[in-house]
Amino acid sequence: MITVIDYGAGNLFSVEKAFSAIGAEVCVSERAEDITSADKIVLPGVGAFGDCMTRLNASGLVPLLKERIAEGVPLLGICVGLQILFEGSEESPDVQGLGLLRGYVKKISAKNEKIPHMGWNAVHIEENDRGSGLLKNIPDASYVYFVHSYHAV
């Protein structure tokens, strides 16, 4: 079962629909028991880093989420849900992220590029990442769609 965490900040039903479309068993939930029994966890998010962390902290699910990740349960962060996995963000400098990934989220500063970055671009997969996780069967130079203004450093 894939559990999509509902903490009031997300594109929940788009994510649920996408997993259902490929035949995955999925539930959207804010209940601790659904997170405890999840085989995989998805942390969606739409909005600002600080607002998302405030909502997630208020849900009381942070300790359980960290425990499940420490147990090796796969986690997918989508949009701001990915950003809050890091230690912090310049978007909300006084708000700590979950700290599950080392690094800091910064606004893209591109003088000659349009921000937000939106569109199809080729991704280049590092050799040591080719056999694992989401990238396992993705050929190098595959095209994926981006919509973002921030990146992790």
pLDDT in tens, 124-145: 888 777 766 777 788 889 998 8
Query: What's the pLDDT at 114?
Result: 83
pLDDT band for position 33 (50/70/90)?
Answer: very high
**8 Å CB contact between 104 and 153:** yes
Q: What is the mean pLDDT of residues 2-24?
A: 92
Domains of the chain: 1-102 (3.40.50.880), 108-153 (no CATH)
Q: Read off the pTM.
A: 0.86
Q: What is the mean pLDDT of residues 74-102?
A: 96
Query: What's the pLDDT at 139?
Result: 86
Dihedral sign (CA 17, 76, 27, 61): negative
pLDDT greater than 90 at residue 96: yes
pLDDT band for position 37 (50/70/90)?
Answer: very high
Q: What is the largest CA-CA distance in the chain?
A: 48
pLDDT greater than 80 at residue 31: yes
Query: What's the pLDDT at 77?
Result: 94
Contacts (Cβ under 8 Å, ≥6 apart) of 146: 117, 118, 119, 120, 121
Contacts (Cβ under 8 Å, ≥6 apart) of 27: 1, 2, 3, 4, 16, 34
Query: What's the pLDDT at 131?
Result: 67
Query: What's the pLDDT at 140?
Result: 87
pLDDT greater than 80 at residue 42: yes
